[in-house]
Amino acid sequence: MIDELKRFMIGSPIETARQTHERLSKKIALAVFSSDALSSVAYASEEILHILVLGGLAALSLSLPVATGIALLLIVVSFSYRQTIKAYPHGGGSYIVAKDNLGVLPSLTAGAGLLVGYVLTVAVSLSAGASAIVSALPQLDPYRVPMALLFVLLLTIANLRGLRESGLIFSVPTYAFIATIFSLLIIGMYRYLTSTIVPVTSVEHLEPLRSASSDIGFLLVMQAFAAGCTALTGIEAISDGVPAFKKPEWLNARTTLTVMAGLLTVMFLGITFLAQQYLALPAESGNPETVLSQIGRGVFGGRGLPYSILQAATATILILAANTAYADFPRLLSFLARDRYMPRQFATLGDRLVYSNGIIVLAVASSVLIVIFNATVTALIPLYAGGVFISFTIAQTGMVRRWQRLREQGWQRGMLINGIGALTTFIVAIIVISQKFFLGAWILLIIIPAIIAMFLAIHQHYVTAAKQLSLEGLEPPPPLRNTVIVPVATLHRGVINALKYAEAMAPGNVTAVHIAMDEEQTAKVRAKWAKWGGDTPLVVLDSPYRSLVRPLIRYLDEVDRRWDNDVITVVLPEFVPARWWHNLLHNQTALLLKGALLFRKNRVVVSVPYRLEE
Amino acid sequence: MIDELKRFMIGSPIETARQTHERLSKKIALAVFSSDALSSVAYASEEILHILVLGGLAALSLSLPVATGIALLLIVVSFSYRQTIKAYPHGGGSYIVAKDNLGVLPSLTAGAGLLVGYVLTVAVSLSAGASAIVSALPQLDPYRVPMALLFVLLLTIANLRGLRESGLIFSVPTYAFIATIFSLLIIGMYRYLTSTIVPVTSVEHLEPLRSASSDIGFLLVMQAFAAGCTALTGIEAISDGVPAFKKPEWLNARTTLTVMAGLLTVMFLGITFLAQQYLALPAESGNPETVLSQIGRGVFGGRGLPYSILQAATATILILAANTAYADFPRLLSFLARDRYMPRQFATLGDRLVYSNGIIVLAVASSVLIVIFNATVTALIPLYAGGVFISFTIAQTGMVRRWQRLREQGWQRGMLINGIGALTTFIVAIIVISQKFFLGAWILLIIIPAIIAMFLAIHQHYVTAAKQLSLEGLEPPPPLRNTVIVPVATLHRGVINALKYAEAMAPGNVTAVHIAMDEEQTAKVRAKWAKWGGDTPLVVLDSPYRSLVRPLIRYLDEVDRRWDNDVITVVLPEFVPARWWHNLLHNQTALLLKGALLFRKNRVVVSVPYRLEE
């Protein structure tokens, strides 16, 4: 029944032979790989305003300079990744680049940072998606968390089914989003130039901000910068996916990255500019409308069809962005599992050619974050940006090391570009973590070392286990002597069945044991044994404490002392009842015995099933 | 480690030989068996006032007439139980009397009613105990539920340890409670006669009641009566425990019952009378003080030492009352389990000579009720009184049937007494359930049939299982043919170990099976097999869907078809790692295989443990 449910939800298994890689044209690749990066414009400008609004109305005018700084950072990082793409045509995620160039610990740090980042991609994108919907339909505000969790569920089922990175599914929403945002920007610019912009925030709401002491310090600007850096999340996706491009892969991937970075820069700066012109204030409790929604209302003149399309496209691309983590997180876990830093089962492709275990871990972890942080983007950003910039830094440092090591043609230029990238992202990582430390970034300083410690402990165990299991130096072992014990409480068909099995497995070496708890019962067993026991001896043990388990274990130890190099097997009848709840009515003693023998050396427990037909 | 914790909490096992029954003198028996009944005076009067207060101040004067009606009922029921005690000197609980005289369905109904009643004894008594404490220490009001749950925990541990019905533990608090209540009544009567009673409720509080429309109808009186009937709960305890008395058991038990009923009547009427004189109003949210506490303050002149003793004695006897359910509930479950209406494990005496499983079920069930009903006595009463009166009725009807059947000396007189008892308790059961129907008594009409259905389903299964397992007509089975399969993913010491075991159990009848997932891996296995495989053949199976399980199961089915009357055994190596979390890193495939083979006929799975030392 469970199996049938699984088949219904997930579908039938897929043959290994059908695992092919669709090669993507640049246009489709842009759609597939850029949803994560482009979708961040839905919340990045707003995060800047969230900080600046603390400095009063005058501070809001700093949003454009801050955004420009972030755009410059974006260009630096894009140039760095252009180098990575060329150097790693088979895919250059931070983990792989670091493993290749920097050694174990940096690669594990990058891996831990990425894992955290992917979980947060899901949590942030789906929370922002819920916000986009709530902005359009404010009556849904109380259902923000359930909505985000519903998206997690849908993405999980889709990915367990094996939603391939199919071009069409991604192309339509991504290009729809790009087209909608550009329409918004063009009409908005037209309104700006014709001076027909009407602020969306009423004077009463602005008044308290106007009178607020405009204490605009360096700290405020730094914090706004740190908050806005979330615009860069997802930019590394193309460098992970180079092999999916049509030939020449690296060249096509590079061009796509440049186009994506260009689109992202224009959209991010444009939205920030319009937010300022429309005096859009960041969402807060009480007014859950996002900045993008406010601009949309302003530019499109109310909540008409164009506005609705904007919100729908925003929500959709945010869900797609979460979906990219569903591809990347399980794949990274499978790399880690293959390198023995994670349990082996994360490297096993499931029925539907997907890493099912990784998908489930991602779903659980992101759901937990959504619930804890109440589906609030602002609360999640410190963790998100921090994790992402840590792995950016490591990846770029790895590239620097690579240029230095291989000294290929043009290595000085490459090293310079990646050096600037590494330095910049390092500084930004420091800024993000320090500025957002008490807002949640401190969690990273606990969780990333904890994940690394877990990686190392798992690795250590697999290495020592492999050593212990190695056949190296093993002498061919002598044949085993197997002594078989059949506990007999009463005599019934299940016991006879178990007895026959025991006699087949160790002819002449079977002893039946009865634990005497009740004289009448013991006499009955003795009488029946005379008829059914055959040549097998019956030993009766006393149990002054009414325990079945202890006298039996003591007896097994006694038998064990008789010979060396022997194994003692306990054969138990086990009922296989016709209905699940019948299990509660049987096999309790068998369970107890198994539990007691589990950790004893040279003890094997065999359950011989006996089916009850009704 | 778990075992050590258990030993610390519960203590070491006790020998069966130490299971003796202390014979109780009348004085001690009164203490042991009456705590449940006597403690109900702590809340019964208050429950009456709870209803009457709805009719305004004038209605409160009806409390004494209502209580007198209940006292008459108490006398009728006591006389009925005096008959039961004589007829069942070995203990005449409702379940046993009904089984003896009325057949299966009535006895199961009584059993279900009693089970519900015992759970409610715990929930009500401990909630009332918490109320007694909160009355003395109002600052503890927010901790009512945690306090009640703490009492459940303490009683559970004490009873798992095997708290015997030891005389001293019961005598001191029970007689202290009786003495305190009688002091209260005597001083209270003295104040009444000397007209020195000062009402405890201020005029402002009484004013709204005075002006309330005094709509005193028949319904209100009936409801007050139904509520006060909770005073009778626990009165059947002595008839259950006749064998614990000194000889002549039935005579001593009868005398004790009469004394107990007398004490209960006087205490209940006295408290109700004083409540009226002191104008004590029932506890409600905002004023959590119990009626008994208010009377105590009034009689003893404030919250001094005598008042504190009253509250402490009340809380203690209520906890003892809950404890009686801890003896009765598991014992009833053991009767039901012996008669095969409950899973067998409820009839197993644990290490400490107690029915541990029953104790745990009682603790869980009563905790759930305490949490759901927020430790509020008034909310729990409808369920409690309803369940108790259902089993009273069945027990008395059983006695009527018995007189009629056996026609012993004086049967007409006995039948008359029990007939009146049966009729009265039946009418009261109807009153309680109808008057409290929407307040919770409807739950009984769902839960009691559900419990009965469960009893019958369990019984039905045990009967058919016994038939299927009977050796009657079984031909001595021929020897089994055992074909052994050892799945081999890679070759390591654990596999060699399993292989040796397999060869010992079915020499010359073992096949190793490798599922090919990766060509390189398969080649390695083949090469190593040449060295280590000995004479055992290696079969390599393809797996187009990367599944380990499906090709293996298909192969087993194929092998199965070769011979009749054979068993196929799958021998798996199973790692026993040094640390618990290492389990997450191993044995995943073994688990999967076991799960898949669990429900297949003629398949035995043997796990051969291989210990990892670090």
pLDDT per residue as tens digits for the range A48-61: 998 888 888 888 88
In this prediction, residue A4 carries a pLDDT of 66
Cross-strand partners of A610: A575
From the list A348, A505, A613, the residue facing B506 with the nearest CB is A505
Q: In this model, does residue A205 exceed pLDDT 80? A: no
Tell me which chain A residues have a C-beta less than 8 angstroms from the C-beta of B575: 465
Picking from B133, B143, B171, B170, the residue whose alpha carbon sits closest to that of residue B42 is B133
B351 chain-A contacts, CB cut-off 8 A = 545-547
Among B343, B505, B603, beta carbon nearest to A505: B505
Say whether B465 and A575 touch across the interface (CB within 8 A): yes
Where would I find the beta strands (DSSP E) of B109-188? none
With a cut of 70, say whether residue A22 has pLDDT above it: no
Task: Give first-to-last CA distance, chain B, whole Å.
Answer: 19
Say whether B504 and A458 touch across the interface (CB within 8 A).
no
What pLDDT shows up at residue B446? Answer: 92
Task: Tell me the one-letter amino acid at B438.
Answer: F
Contact A604 B599 (CB under 8 A): no
Higher pLDDT pick, A480 / A342? A342
- B91 by DSSP, 3-state: which? coil
pLDDT at A437 over 80: yes
A287: DSSP letter: B
Which of A458, A503, A614 is opposite residue B464, by nearest beta carbon? A614
Say if residue A63's pLDDT is above 80. Answer: yes
CB pair distance less than 8 Å for B469 and A461 = no
Element (H, E) at A528: helix A519-532
* Average pLDDT taken over every residue of chain A: 87
Higher pLDDT, B412 or A543: B412
Query: In 3D, which of B271, B313, B322 has the Cα closest to residue B124?
Result: B322
Of A494, A500, A546, the CB nearest to B349: A546
**What is the least distance, in Å, from the CA of B13 to any CA of chain A?**
7
- pLDDT > 80? residue B554: yes
Q: Which of A17, A576, A604 is the closest to B599 by Cβ?
A: A576
| pLDDT tens by residue, B116-136 | 999 999 999 999 999 999 999
Q: Which of B544, B582, B611 sits opposite A17 (nearest CB)?
A: B544
pLDDT tier, B22 (very low <50, low <70, confident <90, very high otherwise): low
- The tens digit of pLDDT for each residue in B47-70 reads 999 888 888 888 888 999 999 999
A75 neighbors A265 (Cβ within 8 angstroms): yes
pLDDT for residue A393:
92
Report d(CA A495, CA B571) in Å as an integer: 21
- Tokens of residue B148, six digits: 């009640």
Residues 6+ apart with CB under 8 A from B306: B183, B296, B300
Query: HSE on the CB side for B403, CA within 13 Å?
Result: 20
Distance CA A499, CA A531 (A): 14
Q: Which residue from A461, A575, A606 is facing B582, i.e. has the nearest CB?
A: A461
The CA distance from B77 to A149, in Å, is 58
User: Does the pLDDT value for residue B3 go beyond 90?
Assistant: no
Residue A369 pLDDT class (50, 70, 90 cuts): very high
What residues in A contact B480, CB-CB < 8 Å?
A: 500-501, 503-504
CB-CB: which of A15, A479, A546 is closest to B544?
A15
Whole-number pLDDT of residue A286: 66
Name the residue in chain A with its Cα closest to that of B534. Answer: A476
Q: Identify the weakest region by mean pLDDT among A379-393, A435-449, A598-612, B501-515.
A: A598-612
Record: contact B544-A470, CB cut-off 8 A: no
* Chain B residue numbers touching A16 (CB-CB < 8 A): 544-546
Instruction: State which residue of chain A sits closest to B491, comparing Cα positions.
Output: A471
Residue B596 confidence (pLDDT): 77
Look at residue A311 and tell me whether its pLDDT is greater than 90: yes
| pLDDT level of residue A452 (50, 70, 90 thresholds) | very high
Residue B571 is classified by DSSP as E
The structure tokens 């500084």 sit at A427
Strands B510-516 and A566-576, sheet pairing:
unpaired
Average pLDDT, stretch B377-395? 89
Distance from the Cα of B294 to chain A's closest Cα (Å) equals: 46
CA B345 to chain A, closest CA, distance in angstroms equals 7
pLDDT band at B5 (very low <50, low <70, confident <90, very high): low
Burial status of residue A15 (CB atoms within 10 A of its CB: 0-12, 13-18, 19 or more): exposed
Cβ of B464 within 8 Å of Cβ of A612? The answer is yes
More confident residue, A522 or A481: A522
Predicted pLDDT at A610: 84
Query: What pLDDT was estimated at residue B394?
Result: 93
CB contact under 8 A, B588 and A612: no
Judging contacts by C-beta atoms under 8 Å, the chain A residues touching residue B503 are 479-480
Task: Give the whole-angstrom CA distance, residue A574 versus residue A609.
Answer: 5
Q: Where in chain B is the domain with CATH 1.20.1740.10?
A: 2-11+23-461
A559-586 confidence digits (pLDDT tens): 888 877 778 899 988 888 778 777 777 7
Instruction: Give the DSSP letter of residue B610.
Output: E
CA distances from A601 to A303, B249, B611 (A): 73, 55, 8
Any idea what DSSP says for residue A24?
A: B
Q: Quickly state the pLDDT bin for A597 (edges 50, 70, 90).
A: confident
State pLDDT tens for residues B234-266.
Answer: 888 888 888 888 888 889 999 999 999 999 999
Average pLDDT score over residue span B353-370: 89
- DSSP label at B479? P
Percent of chain B with pLDDT over 90: 40
For an interface test with A, give the residue of B545, B571, B586, B608 to mutate (most A CBs within 10 A).
B545
Q: How far apart are CA B409 and CA B397, in angstroms?
A: 19
A532: nearest CB among B349, B470, B471: B471
C-beta atoms of B576 and A585 within 8 A? no
Query: With contacts defined as CB-CB under 8 Å, which chain A residues touch B481?
Result: 504
Choose the closest CB to A469 out of B476, B493, B503: B493
- Record: contact B13-A482, CB cut-off 8 A: no
- pLDDT over 60 at B4, yes or no: yes
% chain A with pLDDT above 90: 40
Cβ–Cβ gap B505/A506 under 8 Å: yes
User: What is the per-residue burial (b if ≥16 Cβ within 10 Å, else e) of B544-567?
Assistant: ebbbbbbbbbebbeebbeeeeebb
Q: Supply the pTM of this predicted model.
A: 0.69
Q: Is the pLDDT of residue A180 over 90?
A: yes
Is residue B178 scored above 90 in pLDDT?
yes
Residue among B345, B465, B613 minimizing CB distance to A588 = B345
Yes or no, beta carbons of A470 and B461 under 8 Å apart = no
Higher pLDDT, A268 or A443: A268
Radius of gyration of chain A (CA): 32
Interface probe with A: pick from B491, B505, B556, most Cβ of A within 10 Å: B505
Residue B351 confidence (pLDDT): 61
Which of B465, B493, B612 faces A612 most closely, judged by CB atoms?
B465
- Assigned CATH topology for domain A481-611: Rossmann fold (3.40.50)
B409 C-beta neighbours (distance < 10 Å), count: 8
The neighbour count for residue B325, using CB atoms within 10 Å, is: 28
Share in percent of chain B as helix, strand, coil (round to 5): 70, 5, 25
- Cβ contact, residue pair A501, B491, below 8 Å: no
User: At residue B18, does pLDDT exceed 60?
Assistant: no
pLDDT at B310: 95
Tokens of B336: 């039901």
- Quick one: fold of A22-406+422-456? Amino acid/polyamine transporter I (1.20.1740)
Interface probe with A: pick from B16, B346, B356, B471, most Cβ of A within 10 Å: B471
- pLDDT at residue B205 above 80? no
Residue A105 one-letter amino acid: L
Q: Which residues of A246-263 are buried (b: 16+ CB within 10 A; e: fewer)?
A: eeebbebbbbbbebbbeb
Residues of B in contact with A15 (CB under 8 A): 544-545
Cβ contacts (< 8 Å) between B3 and chain A: which residues? none
Q: How far B552 CA sits from the closest chain A CA (Å)?
A: 15
Q: In A54-166, which ranges are continuous DSSP H helix? A: 57-60, 63-87, 94-101, 104-136, 144-161
Across the interface, whether the CB atoms of B609 and A586 are under 8 A apart is answered: no
Mean pLDDT of A532-551: 83
Cβ separation of B598 and A604 shorter than 8 Å? no
Range among A481-495, B152-166, B588-602 rated most confident? A481-495
Segment B399-446, tens digit of pLDDT: 999 999 988 888 899 999 999 999 999 999 998 888 888 888 888 889
A-B Cβ pairs (cutoff 8 Å, strict): 169
Strands of A233-309 (E only): list them: none
- Residue A482 to residue B496, Cβ atoms within 8 A: no
Q: Which residues of B touch A575 (CB under 8 A)?
A: 465
DSSP assignments along B334-352, one per residue = HHHHHTTSS-GGGG---TT
Average pLDDT over residues A212-229: 81
Task: Answer yes or no: do A545 and B576 touch at CB < 8 A.
Answer: no
Residue A25: predicted pLDDT? 86
Contacts of B580 in chain A (CB under 8 A): none
pLDDT in tens, B74-88: 999 999 999 889 888
**Contact between residue A429 and residue A386 where contact means Cβ atoms under 8 Å apart:** yes
pLDDT mean across residues, chain B: 87
**Homologous superfamily of the B2-11+23-461 domain (CATH):** Amino acid/polyamine transporter I (1.20.1740.10)
Task: Please give the order of strands across the beta sheet that includes B603-611.
Answer: A538-542, A510-516, A481-487, A566-576, A603-611, B603-611, B566-576, B481-487, B510-516, B538-542
Q: How far is A221 from chain B (nearest CA, A)?
A: 47
Banded pLDDT at A72 (limits 50, 70, 90) = very high
Whether the predicted pLDDT of A479 surpasses 70: yes
d(CA A277, CA A220): 21
Contacts of A501 in chain B (CB under 8 A): 480, 482, 567, 604
d(CA B341, CA B338): 8
CA dihedral of residues B152, B158, B159, B165 (deg, nearest 10): -120
The percentage of residues in chain B with a pLDDT greater than 70, rounded to a whole number, is 93
Gap between the terminal Cα atoms of chain A:
18
CA distance A179 to A176: 5
Provide the total of helices (H) and of strands (E) in chain A, helices listed first. 23, 5
Position A382 pLDDT exceeds 70: yes
In the predicted structure, residue A254 carries a pLDDT above the cut 90: yes
